[in-house]
Amino acid sequence: MANRDYYQILGVTSDVTEQDLKKAWQKKARELHPDRNQDPAAADKMKEVNEAYQVLSDRKKRAEYDYQLQHGGTAGGSPDFGSMRDVFNDHLGNIFGDLFGGGRTSRSGSHSQRGSDLKYNLSLNLEDAVFGSSTTIKIPGLGRCQICNGLGTRKGTTTTTCPTCEGAGQVYLQHGPFSIQQTCPDCQGQGRTIPYPCPSCFGQGQVRETRTLSVRIPAGVDDGDRIRVTGEGEAGVRGGQAGDLYVQIQLKPHELFKRKGRDLYCEVPIFYSTAVLGGSVKVPTLGGEVNIKVPRGTQSGTILRIPSKGIPGTRGSRAGDLFCALVVETSVHLSSHQEELLLSYENSLNLASSKYYPRYHSWFEKMHRFFTRQSSESS
């Protein structure tokens, strides 16, 4: 139990939808059905598959399982029973199967249960991540029943000692030579039962609800950061403490900037005339527009560094830089008159001289040498 991956058993990924999960389970169940599958191991596999589906098809158990999976813990049940189950798996799997279907029993005897932790993926734009923001998020989940205040009992009634286990939370079964301790099926190990359940939550102490929560995002968060909001997870059962909410930050791609650590990168298109003559262009920064100087004779692809205009520094770290790649944009849709002007301008440059286009000339010479070598080798 402890180290088995339920998702793997059902052949699905951990983001599987409830519908696809059911399909995967039905498919496995058909494959492993004793009428079709003669493999002696099929029955055990079927047990595994059912166990996995039982947990993953229950939203609450699945959330709990996911959480424990992420935190390296065991998945539901108590570790002691997990190891026992492995020993007796062959003969007694069915009995223990019931045991594990009975919900979380790791703290048998304790009356209340802490609510599950929840994870919420929050997409943020760069500015909100850098400067901090407030946002409202809607969280579907289980909340404390307001009618019974989470106790599960009808108004004016109380819980009573479980008659099946007489409050012990455990029952004993005789199975061949073994006496097996099992969590009481009537009270799920709680030792107490609810004779008059709350009509609103049917004794669960929890109801399905969508909560709206205001969350403050601190300045300086980055992609993958997690913010813990204490007590905003699912409500506890029977007066138990609420779980925590983890808000996972995902940065949306930005229209203008790419981010690398604290530095920002952006591409700035410039006119041919600006590149030739030099001038000034406006570039964006997180703090607003700034003017930068484009040197005379700037080549396309030149990168200019603007110090301290990247991500602002927080808690002692220095601010990042902004890198602007200047890209000369070729003009399009010229009229015939404009084409003439361009050609007459181009013709005015003496192309035999390396003065106007030094890069073209040096490249042309390299190409010429390359072909001269080739023809002398082949002859």
Q: Which residues bind Zn ion (CB under 5 A)?
A: 145, 147-148, 162, 164-165, 184, 186-187, 198, 200-201
How big is the chain by its Cα radius of gyration, in Å?
34
What is the closest distance, in whole angstroms, from the C-beta atom of residue 67 to Zn ion in the complex? Answer: 24
Task: Give 237 or 249: the residue with its C-beta nearer to Zn ion.
Answer: 237
Is there a contact between 145 and 194 (Cβ–Cβ < 8 Å)?
no
As a whole number of angstroms, the distance between CA 23 and CA 253 comes to 35
Task: Give 9 or 237: the residue with its C-beta nearer to Zn ion.
Answer: 237
As a whole number of angstroms, the distance between CA 86 and CA 172 comes to 19
Distance of CA 52 to the CA centre of its chain: 22
Task: Give 205 or 243: the residue with its C-beta nearer to Zn ion.
Answer: 205
What is the closest distance, in whole angstroms, from the C-beta atom of residue 96 to Zn ion in the complex? Answer: 18
Burial class, 200, CB count within 10 angstroms (exposed 0-12 / middle 13-18 / buried 19+): middle
CB count in 10 Å sphere of residue 148: 24
Distance of CA 284 to the CA centre of its chain: 30
Task: Give 153 or 274: the residue with its C-beta nearer to Zn ion.
Answer: 153
Total length of the chain: 379
Rounded alpha-carbon distances, angstroms, from residue 70 to 66, 119, 371: 6, 11, 62
What is the closest distance, in whole angstroms, from the C-beta atom of residue 95 to Zn ion in the complex? Answer: 17
What is the closest distance, in whole angstroms, from the C-beta atom of residue 69 to Zn ion in the complex? Answer: 29
As a whole number of angstroms, the distance between CA 255 and CA 265 comes to 11
Is there a contact between 153 and 194 (Cβ–Cβ < 8 Å)?
yes
Task: Give 198 or 324: the residue with its C-beta nearer to Zn ion.
Answer: 198
Q: Quick one: tokens of 145?
A: 């029943």
Is there a contact between 75 and 87 (Cβ–Cβ < 8 Å)?
no
Task: Give 97 or 102: the residue with its C-beta nearer to Zn ion.
Answer: 102
Task: Give 5 or 186: the residue with its C-beta nearer to Zn ion.
Answer: 186
What is the closest distance, in whole angstroms, from the C-beta atom of residue 152 to Zn ion in the complex? Answer: 6
What is the closest distance, in whole angstroms, from the C-beta atom of residue 145 to Zn ion in the complex? Answer: 3
The DSSP annotation for 358-376 comes to HHHHHHHHHHHHHHHHHHH
What is the closest distance, in whole angstroms, from the C-beta atom of residue 196 to Zn ion in the complex? Answer: 11
Is there a contact between 300 and 275 (Cβ–Cβ < 8 Å)?
yes
What is the closest distance, in whole angstroms, from the C-beta atom of residue 199 to Zn ion in the complex? Answer: 8
Task: Give 238 or 309: the residue with its C-beta nearer to Zn ion.
Answer: 238
